[in-house]
Amino acid sequence: MPAQPSPQTPTHQPGRPERSHVRAGLAELVLDVARTPATECDGETLLRQVCLELTELCGLAGCAAVVLDASTGAVHSVAGSHREAEQLTRLVRQLGESEGLTAPRGDSTVPAQDLTKARTVLAEAAGRVGLPVTAAVALYGGHQLVGCLQLFGTEVAALSDELLRELVPLADVLGVALHNTEAYRFSATLVTELSEALDAQRPVEQAKGLLAERHQVDLDAAYRMLRDQARRRDTTVAAVAAELVGQSWQSPVREQTKPELSDSGNTPLPEQRGGSADRPETERHTTG
């Protein structure tokens, strides 16, 4: 008669990974996510890769990551281990709140539940794609709920409370990575917009200075001259300013010519203003 294992000896269930292997893999995954710089992080690619690795490492039937919109709390994007997991996750987010299937604010995990006992639509969809059981782990970044990991299994035991607790450190670092990536993108976009605004404003400021010197007026009056000219020509202040500044730099003797706005609606080139009064004193004596 074969020897029976003692009650104190843990037995490994077929098809379910060893806990020590899962813990080691999760620790490595946490480090990989933590080492990903925000400047090089593609949120969707990172989430899909994490879902694929979690599915294989933890013996899941599927996994999907949900990213929430920071302002509305609605689903912004979903990335999963496969298409069926993504589609079912969207359905769970739409219909699962009343069933307690989504991670509420303040909670870290939602225990495993049988989707086949939920609403008819959810039950039918879960059975059709072979993802009957789900659990969730919340993603927090900057003390704000930014999304969740939606896990799927074929039985409730596959999504144990122990596994959900072991996934919390990964969820924490993943939430921070998403938060930092979004913050970096926002900052980069803001810097670009400010740079473009400054570049567009530079010719206007230069034109104001030219007109203020030419007509001996202050900068506010010079700007009104630009604005009035733009209205007469049905164009923008920036366009008038760019033309004026460009013509001032085209003159071969910039020190002796001062640009002005003509009443005809066009900015005359410096060399178009003739007459002895505009010529240097030495030139008038020569021609005389």
Q: What is the pLDDT of residue 186?
A: 77
pTM of the model: 0.64
**Is the domain of 145 the same as that of 51?**
yes
Task: Check whether residue 171 and residue 211 sit in a common domain.
Answer: no
Same domain for 269 and 172: no
Considering the domain architecture, whether residues 145 and 266 belong to the same structural domain is answered as no
Hey, what are 169's tokens?
């450190």
Q: Both tokens of residue 64? A: 């999907």
Q: Three-class SS of residue 189?
A: helix
Res 12: pLDDT = 37
Residue 34 structure tokens: 């933590």
Burial 160-180, CB ≥16 within 10 A → b, else e: beebbebbeebbbbbbbbbbb
172 and 36 in a common domain: yes
Of 152, 184, 216, which residue constitutes the final position of a domain? 184
For residue 258, which amino acid is it?
K
164 and 223 assigned to the same domain: no
pLDDT averaged over the chain?
Answer: 79
Largest CA distance in the chain: 132
Distance CA 74, CA 90 (A): 11
Residues 82 and 163 in one domain: yes
Mean pLDDT across 152-173 = 94
Within a domain: residue 13? no
> Does residue 65 contact residue 206 with C-beta atoms inside 8 Å?
no
Q: Which of 184, 207, 227 delimits the end of a domain?
A: 184
Q: How far apart are the C-alpha atoms of 88 and 94, rounded to whole Å?
A: 10
Q: Do residues 51 and 159 both lie within one domain?
A: yes
pLDDT tens digit sequence for 108-156: 888 999 998 877 788 999 999 999 999 999 999 888 889 999 999 999 9
Same domain, residue pair 116 and 222: no
In what order do the strands lie in the sheet containing 144-153? 75-80, 62-68, 144-153, 133-141, 109-114
- What does the pLDDT read at residue 61? 95
Residue 189 counted as domain residue? no
User: What distance lies between CA 199 and its chain's CA centroid?
Assistant: 24
DSSP 266: S
Position 141 in a domain:
yes
Amino acid at 116: T
Indicate the residue among 184, 213, 247 that finishes a domain.
184
Indicate if 209 and 254 belong to the same structural domain: yes
Query: Is 60 among the domain residues?
Result: yes
Residue 76 has pLDDT above 60, yes or no: yes
* Residue-level pLDDT at 102: 63
List pLDDT tens digits, range 237-268.
888 888 888 876 655 444 444 455 554 444 44
**Is pLDDT above 60 for 2?**
no
Lowest mean pLDDT among 14-18, 181-185, 187-191, 226-230: 14-18
Domain total in the chain: 2
Mean pLDDT computed over 177-204:
82
Asked, for residue 288, whether it belongs to a domain, the answer is no
In a domain, 286, yes or no: no
Whether pLDDT at 48 is above 90 = yes
Shared-domain flag, residues 265 and 138: no
The answer to whether residues 175 and 224 belong to one domain is: no
Write out pLDDT tens, residues 193-210: 888 778 878 888 888 988
Query: What is the predicted pLDDT for the residue at 77?
Result: 92
> What is d(CA 284, CA 5) in angstroms, rounded to the nearest whole number?
117
Does the pLDDT value for residue 1 go beyond 90? Answer: no
Quote the domain boundaries for residue 225. Answer: 198-273
CB-based contact 242:203 (threshold 8 Å): yes
Residue 99 identity: E
Q: How far apart are CA 281 and CA 276, in angstroms?
A: 9
For residue 78, what is the domain's CATH number? 3.30.450.40
In a domain, 31, yes or no: yes
Q: What are phi and psi of 10, to 5 degrees?
A: -70, 140
Q: Is 109 exposed, middle or buried (0-12, 13-18, 19+ CB in 10 A)?
A: buried
Q: Is residue 192 part of a domain?
A: no
